Copies of this chain bind each other. A is one copy, B any other.
Amino acid sequence: MSSHWFVGVDIGGTTIKLAIIDTYGEIITKWEIPTNTEDEGKRIPIELSKAIFTKMEEINEPKEKLRGIGVGAPGFIDMDTGLIYRAVNIGWTNFPLKDLIEVETGLPVVVDNDANLAALGEMWRGAGEGAKNLLAVTLGTGVGGGLIANGQILHGVNGMAGEIGHITSIAKGGAPCNCGKTGCLETIASATGIARIATEKVIGGITSSELKEVFNREGKLSAKDVFDAAKNQDSLALEVIDEISFHLGLAIANLANALNPEKIVLGGGVSKAGEFLTTSIQKHFEAYALPRVVEGANIAIATLGNDAGVIGAVWLIKQKINK
């Protein structure tokens, strides 16, 4: 047998992404199955295993070619045992995910947080370009993060490391956050936060703006509306983006002064704004990070998209087996 393969799995609330991936991180084949949340998600390990071995038959490859499975899961995870304390949108409580998949497949399994695995994926095969000190920031409906130092994911003492969406950007009088606090970075730099800030400014009495026209027509604004208007040099949209970039640049600079990352990778839906966003964040980042920290760091947009999780999962199981 000339080469080994691994399986990357990324379990979400509605679908499970799967991929067979070679030892260099190249995807051989990838597919999705629905997440079966019936019976508190109990059948997921069996369905996963079936899906993997059926796929190997389909592509006429021996299952012995598979060396291990990396799994990204949502919720609170005990990284040592692969136990999911609680994953609300799937229904798991104290669910021994790692053990169950190992029993079903006979393969070694490693489980980690989905945001962390996306960061590892970008480190290995994406915008991180192998940087062993990397800060991944996911700007989506919320703001998430993954921290890699010395080539390892940071988990912290109880699996909470990387919660950079809940860094406080506005200490007093900030908008309420889902976490119960106020003024979190997530209330500003998420897609939801960007839409909120733009809407407040439009309602606040601006007289002329492309964004106001969109708002009057649609009755609401999205983050995409803001970036579209900004590309047309709409001054209100530019003001909103500068405000968001200021808070992102400051939070990233403060983290970077502590962590000294080589790569800062921005992912998630909002990051599709691309260079427009990175240029603006870079400006504020440089104002607040130490010069030597700025020198060492490069801000880039994530390149793997939805594949980051399964690729990172494979990196992790590969590392574990090689140890």
The yes or no answer to A318 lying at the interface (CB within 8 A) is: no
Choose among B161, B171, B258 the residue that contacts A260 (Cβ–Cβ < 8 A). Answer: B161
A258 touches B158 (CB 8 A): no
**Which residues in B have their C-beta under 8 angstroms from that of A259?**
147, 154, 156, 161, 258
**Which residues in B have their C-beta under 8 angstroms from that of A166?**
257, 290
Which of A156, A262, A297 has most B Cβ within 10 Å?
Answer: A156
Choose among B152, B258, B297 the residue that contacts A145 (Cβ–Cβ < 8 A). Answer: B258
- In the bound complex, what is the Cα–Cα distance between A161 and B134 (angstroms)? 12
The yes or no answer to A232 lying at the interface (CB within 8 A) is: no
A154 touches B150 (CB 8 A): yes
A260 touches B156 (CB 8 A): yes
A150 touches B147 (CB 8 A): no
CB proximity to B under 8 Å, residues A238-263? 246, 250-251, 253-255, 257-262
- In the bound complex, what is the Cα–Cα distance between A159 and B295 (angstroms)? 12
The yes or no answer to A288 lying at the interface (CB within 8 A) is: yes
| Nearest chain B residue, comparing its CB with the CB of A169 | B254
CB proximity to B under 8 Å, residues A10-52? none
User: 6 extra interchain contacts, Cβ-Cβ under 8 A, other than A156-B260, A161-B259?
Assistant: A132-B157, A160-B257, A163-B293, A167-B254, A180-B291, A255-B255
A-B contacts, 9 of them at CB < 8 A, read: A132-B157, A154-B260, A156-B260, A157-B296, A162-B258, A167-B254, A168-B253, A181-B288, A255-B258
Residues of A within 8 A of B (CB): 131-133, 145, 147, 149-150, 152, 154-164, 166-168, 171, 179-181, 246, 250-251, 253-255, 257-262, 287-288, 290-293, 295-297
